[in-house]
Amino acid sequence: MTTTDDTRLDVRTDATAGSRIVHAEARLCDIPVETERTDALQTFVKQETILVRIRTADGAEGVGYSYTIGTGGAAVLSLLRETLLPALIGLEAERPEAVWLSLFGITRATTVGPITALALAAIDTAVWDAKTMRAGLPLWVAAGGASPSVPMYDTEGGWLHYRTDELVEHAVAAKERGMGGVKIKVGMPRGHQDLDRLRAVRDAVGPDLDIMVDANQSFSVSEAVRRAHLFEQVDVFWFEEPLPAEDIEGHRLLARSTSVPIAVGESMYSLGHFREHLQRGGASIVQADVARVGGITPWLKIAHLAESFNAKVAPHFLMELHVSLVCAIPNALYLEHIPQLRAVTTGELRIENGRGWAPTAPGLGIPWDDRALDRLIVA
């Protein structure tokens, strides 16, 4: 029996030997935003994009990435170059769980937190890219293959600095493109100002377009409860990040006080944090960001955790990557429309009748433009 087991281990090792990682590099580039983006707390000034490229023993390559919205990219790059990439050499891209656990183990002193999560995500997405390239499968199929397309909602037309007439114009245009919904940023000084803007959009688009609202963690519990009651008047589809992400009890109290579904997740960095929110009943829509939770490997666990709570998934940002992930799972709700990679790719996400379609090419399906990236490299 021992001989048989040892033989099996040898066979498995031989079968994955070609996927051993023999080269890894990281770069940082600044991608300019396509439009001014403002919310209740900040302005999105640039996208620092951290890119990791790996090569396996059999010549397969994988490219992964993560991002910040303006600061911290150099810290992520330093962690990658000084600690994580050297430890990556010799690990097998065919085994993303093993790779992730190994790297998580050597960064235990700095987890859970954004710098480490973003670094792990850049590697993990590169590993999945190489793995699915070697298999000849698109990511959405390799990760589950639930559906080839997903409904989309638009965020680009709902930033806080837009005038009410501009919000209306953008919402009507999104509806005409077949989008299922639009997201409007809230957090004006007084609640009636938010409500007036939302009511103007609702009056223009009618009852059949979903209107999401996003406070970007700007409210106290009492103010969030008050505004949720106002937002009920225009039938908002969800209330996103009403409170600081760590206020689990506050989210529970808010969810019990309103009929509006509560959405959380873009500012959360661990599987356990999502579990706490779901167990306490503080959220019914999960918005896990693949970069901020540490990559595809933990993202899929969060999505399946949400499924066990009968909760839907509508990830934050990164539509070019998230489209494959939401198409992989059975409990996807929406994909957020915020284009950001057009300046550094040779093709765009396929959108037809308001639905995003997962790439069918092997790997992540993001057609990087290396020349464009080279021009934007800062480190």
Q: Domain range for residue 228? A: 140-368
Using the 3D structure, point to which of 107, 135, 163 is the last residue of a domain. Answer: 135
- Identify whether residues 54 and 13 lie together within a single domain: yes
Average pLDDT of the residues of the chain: 94
Residues 185, 316 within the same domain:
yes
pLDDT of residue 12: 44
- Report the pLDDT value the prediction gives residue 45, as an integer from 0 to 100: 75
Q: Which amino acid is at 71?
A: T
12-19 average pLDDT score: 72
| 48 CB-side CA count, 13 A | 18
Following CA atoms 79, 344, 48, 50 in sequence, which dihedral angle do they give, to the nearest 10 degrees? -10
Domain boundary (135, 165, 180) is at 135
Domains of the chain: total:
2
Tell the burial category of 114 from Cβ atoms under 10 Å away from its Cβ (0-12, 13-18, 19+). middle
pLDDT of 145: 98
Neighbours of 16 (CB within 10 A): 18
- Which DSSP letter does residue 330 get? T
Phi, psi of 17 (to 5 degrees): -60, -35
Do 246 and 363 lie in one domain? The reply is yes
Read off the pLDDT band of 8 (50, 70, 90): very low
Burial class (CB in 10 A: 0-12, 13-18, 19+), 307: middle
More confident residue, 9 or 149: 149
Same domain, 124 and 199: no
- Residue 125, in any domain of the structure: yes
Active site residues: 185, 316
Local confidence band at 13 (pLDDT 50, 70, 90 cut-offs): low
CATH number, position 187 = 3.20.20.120
Q: Are residues 209 and 285 in the same domain?
A: yes
Is residue 373 assigned to a domain? Answer: no
The pLDDT tens digits for 316-347 are 999 999 999 999 999 999 999 999 899 999 99
Q: Is residue 189 part of a domain?
A: yes
CATH number of the domain to which 57 belongs: 3.30.390.10
- Regarding whether 152 and 55 lie in a shared domain, the answer is no
